[in-house]
Structure 1
Amino acid sequence: MGLSRIIAQTKHMKSIKLTALIFLLTTIGMSAQNTIIPLWPNRIPNQEASNEAEKIEYTEDGIIWITNVQEPTVEVFLPSKRMSNGKAVVIFPGGGYYGLAYDWEGTDIAKTLTAKGIAGIVVKYRLPWSKSIIKDKHLVPLQDAQRAMRLVRSKVKEWNLDENQIGIMGFSAGGHLASTLGTHYDEKVYPTQKGEDGISARPDFMALIYPVITLGEPSTHTGSRASLVGENPTQAELDYLSNEKQVDENTPPTFLLHAADDGAVPVENSLMFFSALKENKVPATMHVYPTGGHGFSLGLEHERLKNWINLFFDWMDNLD
């Protein structure tokens, strides 16, 4: 795709207004730094060489859309040392486990966090339908998620972070991955590569934004389920990744956000997870808006939704 065509596609007024507002939020009174780090220092686990190439495209709304992820990374956005409060959020963009809405539910969020002194780390994770994945395709996103948490914790001194205030945030299918990490953080799903792989992968808190939670009928998002476990999964595979069934008393405190009229990922996903958290006495906060649909990201164009990120900041400030 030619550069001129890309530029033309990105001149969608909705996207320009959003980008401009985020730019203002993240440049007033501070200077954020960002860098991209490969997730795996040695051989990428459960993957073989192939002729697949990573694709970066733009949707009609100007959103950066990444598919065929071959080299998973973390993109790290750090606030200035003067602004930093030591907190960090590892972010998993959504995309139905088929692609990643990389800026809309990733870097835009990270930049907004830095304006509050919070480090934002965006994970470009592998997608299970890729032909380069050798086996256990349903575990590949979790492998990358665990590794991302451990990598961030290994950098707390370098990045001026508090190792006990590192949480996660996921959107849609990225919310499923976040809740998978929050309920399967201590399972060994890849061979140890470096010393940091001995560090805990447990998040200190979770924010799940219009998340896929269950793989069971009738409330699952069928596209995410098909991408993750295929068209004919076993009941054991469905139960393992239906995360409302995996909550226990050690699941991290959770912030849930959903719109009641979400036509893609039914609000029952958040309701089921909230119920499981409550049953296990895990601190949880849930906000359900009557309207908003799906995929609204920061919700800046929705009169009601545009304040949700401030609700999240308040919630973070009051965590024990």
Structure 2
Amino acid sequence: MKKILLLLTLTVSAHAAPIPLWPGLAPGETTAGPEKTVKKKDSMTRISEVTKPTLEVYHPEKSKATGTAVLVCPGGGYNVLAIAHEGTALCKWLSKQGVTAVLLKYRVPRRKGQPKHAAPLQDAQRAMTMIRANAKDWGLDPHQIGVMGFSAGGHLAATLLGNPPRNYPDEKTYQPLSAQPNFGILIYPAYLQKGKSTTELAPELNFTKDSPPIFLAVAKNDPYFPSSQLLKTKLNAMDASLEAHIFPSGGHGFGMGGSRPNAEIKTWPGLCLKWMKQQGFATTPKPTAP
């Protein structure tokens, strides 16, 4: 296992090449087929038929590296992944801020007979423990590992923050490592409500007053806005750590906000970075691995 970790470290440092999450087939998978690229009228690249989940690491410049990392979870309804719009674009931005960004390509589409998030959650938990296992070699503080999610990826990030039990076999290297992020960034999250309930969160979401701090950004004209408002209400009632930014417009799927005509929605990345620093993350540059 040490040899594997060393090899992964060298590969990522040199080329940010994708790292397989699992040594063989992912849990519950019987085959590993080719991925498909999906393009719609908006010309955004999406991928589907992901059976071999991976991580792609974006290291910051050594002089800027802060020792903080963020696992980035693109959205796509758990059927596709908006891998560029809600993935690589954010990873490049984070790395410029001194944050090590780790892009998670999790399994889609939804697996028949399973909750929509079951396989992606396994991938996200595995990803968090892999990041912590490599923290020393990647120049990271294992207590400064966060998660950022968009739309369905926001639901995945929110579920991960609750630290659910792992329901897959784990190697000894990863067993003692926590899969719970130290902070969460939820951008226009979806699926937070229990069905059509206006008063109950989805049962897989487990928040308490001691949950990791959360940053939330959403537009009022997002069809999923009511569930974000419900989350905000619940977290505030618990006196949990939350900074919520509700924009008057922007809809759903605005990414970094560059494609929207209103200037306000474009401010969320800067607000998020400011919040991270206030929470003690992404602050003083620290030495990174060569």
TM-score, length-normalised on structure 2? Answer: 0.84
Q: Report the CA distance shift for 1:117/1:94 in structure 2 as closer, same or farther (over 3 A).
A: same
Instruction: Choose which of 171, 185, 193 in structure 1 pairs with 2:150.
Output: 171
The whole-number CA distance in structure 2 between the counterparts of 1:277 and 1:125 is 27
The whole-number CA distance in structure 1 between the counterparts of 2:115 and 2:93 is 35
The whole-number CA distance in structure 1 between the counterparts of 2:277 and 2:217 is 17
Q: Deviations over 1:159-207 (max 9, x none)?
A: 1111111100000010000001011x24122111341232001101000
What value does the CA root-mean-square deviation take over the aligned residues?
Answer: 2.4
The corresponding residue for 2:29 is 47
Query: 2:171 aligned with 1:193, yes or no?
Result: yes
Instruction: Choose which of 120, 124, 128 in structure 2 pairs with 1:149.
Output: 128
Q: Report the CA distance shift for 1:61/1:219 in structure 2 as closer, same or farther (over 3 A).
A: farther
Uncovered stretches (5+) of structure 1, i.e. residues with no partner: 1-30, 221-234
Offset at 1:87? 0.9
Conserved in 1, the CA contact under 8 Å of 2:213 and 2:242?
yes
The whole-number CA distance in structure 1 between the counterparts of 2:128 and 2:88 is 17
Residue type at the aligned position of 1:254:
I
Q: Deviations over 1:116-159 (max 9, x none)?
A: 1111111010125246xx86664211111100111111111111
Conserved in 2, the CA contact under 8 Å of 1:128 and 1:140?
no
The corresponding residue for 1:84 is 65
Instruction: Choose which of 269, 274, 282 in structure 1 pairs with 2:240.
Output: 282
Query: Alignment length, in residue pairs?
Result: 265
Conserved in 1, the CA contact under 8 Å of 2:49 and 2:109?
no
Q: Report the CA distance shift for 1:44/1:143 in structure 2 as closer, same or farther (over 3 A).
A: same
Instruction: Choose which of 96, 119, 137 in structure 2 pairs with 1:158.
Output: 137
The whole-number CA distance in structure 2 between the counterparts of 1:128 and 1:282 is 33
Q: Report the CA distance shift for 1:32/1:305 in structure 2 as closer, same or farther (over 3 A).
A: farther
Offset at 1:41? 2.1
The whole-number CA distance in structure 1 between the counterparts of 2:269 and 2:117 is 30
Which structure carries more relative contact order (alpha carbon 8 Å, separation 6+)?
A: 2
Conserved in 2, the CA contact under 8 Å of 1:186 and 1:200?
no
Range with greater deviation from structure 2 (299-308 or 65-74): 299-308
TM-score, length-normalised on structure 1? Answer: 0.77
The whole-number CA distance in structure 2 between the counterparts of 1:85 and 1:319 is 13
Q: Deviations over 1:213-234 (max 9, x none)?
A: 12420569xxxxxxxxxxxxxx
Range with greater deviation from structure 2 (171-180 or 188-197): 188-197
Query: 2:16 aligned with 1:34, yes or no?
Result: yes
The corresponding residue for 1:25 is none
Query: 2:46 aligned with 1:65, yes or no?
Result: yes
Query: Which 4+ stretches in 1 moved above 6 angstroms?
Result: none
Conserved in 2, the CA contact under 8 Å of 1:128 and 1:138?
no
Superposed counterparts of 1:114-263, under 5 Å: 114-127=95-108, 129-130=110-111, 138-183=117-162, 185-212=163-190, 213-217=192-196, 239-241=202-204, 243=205, 246-263=206-223
Residue type at the aligned position of 2:158:
S
Uncovered stretches (5+) of structure 2, i.e. residues with no partner: 1-12, 281-290
Conserved in 1, the CA contact under 8 Å of 2:209 and 2:241?
no
The whole-number CA distance in structure 1 between the counterparts of 2:229 and 2:15 is 37
Offset at 1:314? 0.2
Q: Report the CA distance shift for 1:91/1:138 in structure 2 as closer, same or farther (over 3 A).
A: closer
Conserved in 2, the CA contact under 8 Å of 1:175 and 1:209?
yes
Range with greater deviation from structure 2 (174-183 or 191-200): 191-200
Residue type at the aligned position of 2:19:
I
The corresponding residue for 1:10 is none
Query: 2:251 aligned with 1:293, yes or no?
Result: yes
By percentage of residues, which structure has more helix? Answer: 1
Conserved in 2, the CA contact under 8 Å of 1:172 and 1:295?
yes
Query: 2:275 aligned with 1:315, yes or no?
Result: yes
Q: Report the CA distance shift for 1:258/1:135 in structure 2 as closer, same or farther (over 3 A).
A: closer
Offset at 1:306? 1.1
Query: 2:16 aligned with 1:56, yes or no?
Result: no
The whole-number CA distance in structure 2 between the counterparts of 1:305 and 1:138 is 28
Offset at 1:107? 0.7
The corresponding residue for 1:111 is 92
Offset at 1:69? 0.5
Residue type at the aligned position of 2:148:
M
- Between the aligned residues of both structures, percent identity stands at 40
